[in-house]
Structures are given as C-alpha cells and as structure tokens.
Amino acid sequence: MERLAIMGGAPVRSRPFPAWPVWDEEEIRAAEQVIRSGRWGSTAGDRVNELEKRFAAYQEAAWGIASTSGTTALRTALLACGIEYGAEVVVPAYTFVASATAALEANAVPVFCDIDPHTYNLDPRSLEAAITPRTQAIMPVHLAGLPADMDRIGQIAARHGLAVVEDACQAWGSSHRGRKVGAIGKVGAFSFQSSKHITAGEGGMLVTDDSGTARVCRSLVNCGRTESGAWHEHHLLGGNYRLTELQAAVILVQLGRYDRMLERRQEAARYLRRELSKIEGLSPLAVPDYVTATSCHLFILRYDKQAFGGLPKARFIEALNAEGIRPAHGGYYIPVNRQPLLLEKNVGPFDAIRRHVYRGRLIDYAGFDCPVAERACTDEAVWLLQNLLLADKPDLDDIVTAFARIARHFDQLLE
Ligand SMILES: *Cc1c(COP(=O)(O)O)cnc(C)c1O
C-alpha cells in the first residue's frame, strides 16, 4: 500500500524548489557601480530618482516616491491623506499586520472588516457595515496580488467621502479592469522586502496620480523638506525614510527582469489552479472578472477539512511538507484584530485607540466579528510561497501529485 511520506513512505520529491531571491551578475554590477561612484545616498545619486520614475510608469501612476519599506510607505500614505488623530481606517482582518500598524502609527484607529470567502479580499458589504461618521479612509489589500473589488470600494468611498489607500505590497504588476493597481485609489504602497517579488532586502514605494499628495509624501519621507526649500529648512513632521542608491540600483535590475518572471508565475498559477481544483476539498482562490492581471505573489488554496475526514489544517500541511512541497504553510494564523498588540492596546504613544469609542463602546478588538478571516486563519488557507511558482512543469506536477496523494490517503493521518 502507498504510504504517505509523513508515515514513513518515500516523499514525492526531495529536490528543493527554485531559491529566492533570483539574482545574477547584473545585480552585482549595479551595486558595484554605486559603491565605486561614492554616491550611496539618494541625495547625491540618481538611482532612486530613476527607480521612482520607472516604477511609477510600470504601475501606470503619475508619481512614485521611494521609502524604506512597505510599512513606512503605508503610514506616509495615510498621513499624506490628512487622516486626523482618532479617525477610523477600515482594514481587512486578513492581512499582514503592517496594514493596521501603519494606521496606528499615524495615530488613527484601525477598524476591521471581514473578507470575501472566495477571494480573501476585503468584503465590500462588511466594509460598508464598518463605516461610522469617524471613518476617514479605507485600506484595501490586494492579497496575494489579487486586486480587490475597486469598483465597489470606490463607490462606497465616494458615497462616504473617504480616502482609498491601497496596500499593494503584494501586487506589483497586478491590474484591475486593465488598470494597474496602486494609484486607482488616492495613493498606494508597495514593498521590496526580501520575501517580495522585486527586492533589495528592504524597500518601499508610494504611487499616486495626485501631485499634491505626491508632494506631501516626498516631504514626509525626507525630513519634512520641500523641493524648493533649503537643506536645513523643514516644513512638516517627516522622517528619514529614504531608500539608498544601493537598494534602488538592485531593484532597478529586478524590475527589468520582472515581466518575464511574472509570466512564468502566472502560467504556473493557471496550471495549479486547473489541476488542484480537480481534487475534492481543495479550492484555489477565485479570480473575479475584474481581475485582469495578478502578480501571483502567493498561491492560496482553501482547504476543506470536512472533505479530509476532519484532518486539521496544520496536520495536512505537515503531510504536504513531508512530501517535499516546501515552502508551503498555513499563512496568517491570527486575524489582525486578534493580535495581542491590539487586544492589549500595546501602542506606546500612539494612543488614539485607548479611549476610542466605536459603536457606542470603548473599542474592543476582540469584539470584531470576522468569521471568514477567522476560518481562513485556523482551518482553511494553505499558502504555496512564491518561489514554487517559478518551478518547471515537472516540479509543478510534483505539487499536484503530493496534494492528490494526501487526498487519497488522508485516512492514514486520522487517529
Ligand atoms: C509585506 C507587506 C507589507 C509591509 O511591507 P514591508 O516592506 O515588509 O514593511 C504590508 N502589507 C502587506 C499586505 C504585505 O504583504
């Protein structure tokens, strides 16, 4: 009888999947040039400037402003929108914590809405229910690179007079009805952190079509300076959130390689979607009609443990890893509103949430009801990480074989 690898059988594969990051002599040359030039900071060199122009053009935005990370870019975006102390920012409960901490560090109050069960993106109905007279912004997250429902979000924002700040930190090259994401709303943020598709270890980028917002963002990441002002003249409470020339040089090389790799990932994702959908109890996230391109940052499946005899998700993933499918994991395992930082309001001086009244009561983050996000965290979401999507066809077949084998023999894992 065929034994699962976790039960001592031979694994489907033992070779690793392609490594991440992908780099070659070009990154080395680009970094070397910067080092030899002696112009390591953006105030002396031209690499950051060029990256801002090229990245904005790539995302079809008028302006790009580099920043140290996706997190600092999101916070800068909220500040540039003029979000006031104690104003509410609606954030989906299923995202990286930075979507919410960016709001906290802008002295705003993140409030949470649930996600759509098919796309895991912000659910517009739940969004609308979360809005109060104190709401000033909405932060859709294009999770895994899948664009959120920007038409409905835009309509809701217009009706309530809210700013839309896109968390596009997983969505380089993603597009919604033919328009690249990032500057569909007022302003958007991207990340170049190590785990992302375009990386220099760390880094971030703001994009916007609004010149006033761009001007404020540029000042906020550069110590509150203005473009025409003197070096020691500071107009806003900004910080030093400048990207370095070394980072920009590396990111420029990565950006030049991006479309080729994106096509590979998209093709792999299409193949996995088709093949894994055939397995009872596994449903890849839906791709609605308004999605015209996705970055395929992650390949997320919904695991229905009922179809696997009640086998817990964690055990299913252990079995998958044992078959040689790595990195694959369960993704976010706590909805953001249940992070200890929010439950305990451990927010240092960013204390807008301590006395905040939401719907007639002192805000209590345990009180947000986001059952879909909850289920995604505990029972449902299975993530295949980005480098798996760079694999060749036979490697992709190993992924399908491993899932199919566990689906055939899950009873070996049930006590
Ligand atoms: C990575 C990420 C961020 C933060 O980006 P950093 O560059 O790591 O600060 C924010 N939101 C989402 C959804 C992300 O995936």
Most informative mutation of 169, 241, 336, 386 for ligand 1 (most atoms within 8 A of CB): 169
Cβ within 8 Å of residue 398, ≥6 positions away: 12, 13, 324, 325
Q: Is the CB of 99 within 6 Å of ligand 1?
A: yes
Q: Is the CB of 64 within 6 Å of ligand 1?
A: no
If you write DSSP's letter for every residue of 264-283 in order, what string do you get? HHHHHHHHHHHHHTTSTTEE
Cα–Cα distance for residue pair 171/163, rounded to 1 Å:
20
Tens-digit pLDDT string for the chain (415 aa): 789 999 999 999 999 999 999 999 999 999 999 999 999 999 999 999 999 999 999 999 999 999 999 999 999 999 999 999 999 999 999 999 999 999 999 999 999 999 999 999 999 999 999 999 999 999 999 999 999 999 999 999 999 999 999 999 999 999 999 999 999 999 999 999 999 999 999 999 999 999 999 999 999 999 999 999 999 999 999 999 999 999 999 999 999 999 999 999 999 999 999 999 999 999 999 999 999 999 999 999 999 999 999 999 999 999 999 999 999 999 999 999 999 999 999 999 999 999 999 999 999 999 999 999 999 999 999 999 999 999 999 999 999 999 999 999 999 999 7
Q: Name residue 166's beta-bridge partners.
A: 188
Return the pLDDT at 415: 72
Output the 3-class SS for 291-311.
EEECCCCCEEEEECHHHHCCC
Residue minimizing CA distance to atom 6 of ligand 1: 70
Question: Atom of ligand 1 at shortest distance to CA of 192?
Answer: 7
Q: Is the CB of 170 within 6 Å of ligand 1?
A: yes
Q: What angle do CA 176, 179, 184 make, to 5 degrees?
A: 85
Q: How far is CA 269 from CA 123, 340, 348, in A?
A: 23, 34, 42
Q: Is the CB of 51 within 6 Å of ligand 1?
A: no
Distance 167 CA to ligand 1 centre (A): 8
| H or E stretch covering 179 | strand 179-180
Distance 188 CA to ligand 1 centre (A): 12
Cα–Cα distance for residue pair 203/252, rounded to 1 Å:
12
Q: Is residue 128 helix, strand or coil?
A: helix
Q: Is the CB of 69 within 6 Å of ligand 1?
A: yes
Burial class (CB in 10 A: 0-12, 13-18, 19+), 128: middle
Cα–Cα distance for residue pair 55/70, rounded to 1 Å:
14
Other C-beta atoms lying within 10 Å of the C-beta of residue 341 = 15
Q: Is the CB of 182 within 6 Å of ligand 1?
A: no
Distance 9 CA to ligand 1 centre (A): 38
Cα–Cα distance for residue pair 286/163, rounded to 1 Å:
27
Given a contact cutoff of 8 angstroms between Cβ atoms, the answer to whether 320 and 402 are in contact is yes
Other C-beta atoms lying within 10 Å of the C-beta of residue 94 = 29
pLDDT tens, 369-384? 999 999 999 999 999 9
Q: How far is CA 59 from CA 56, 182, 189, 215, 322, in A?
A: 5, 7, 11, 18, 39
Helices (H), 145-221: 150-160, 211-220
Q: Is the CB of 188 within 6 Å of ligand 1?
A: no
Cα–Cα distance for residue pair 400/301, rounded to 1 Å:
12
Return the pLDDT at 374: 98
* Virtual torsion, Cα 138, 79, 341, 318, nearest 10 deg: 60
Question: Atom of ligand 1 at shortest distance to CA of 143?
Answer: 13
Question: Atom of ligand 1 at shortest distance to CA of 95?
Answer: 13
Cβ within 8 Å of residue 10, ≥6 positions away: none
Other C-beta atoms lying within 10 Å of the C-beta of residue 196 = 23
Question: Atom of ligand 1 at shortest distance to CA of 102?
Answer: 10
Return the pLDDT at 212: 98
Most informative mutation of 115, 191, 295 for ligand 1 (most atoms within 8 A of CB): 191
Cβ within 8 Å of residue 195, ≥6 positions away: 20, 385, 386
| H or E stretch covering 384 | strand 381-384
Q: Is the CB of 191 within 6 Å of ligand 1?
A: yes
| H or E stretch covering 186 | none
Strands 179-180 and 187-191: unpaired
Length of the chain: 415
Tokens representing residue 324 in the block: 């040689």
Q: Is the CB of 169 within 6 Å of ligand 1?
A: yes
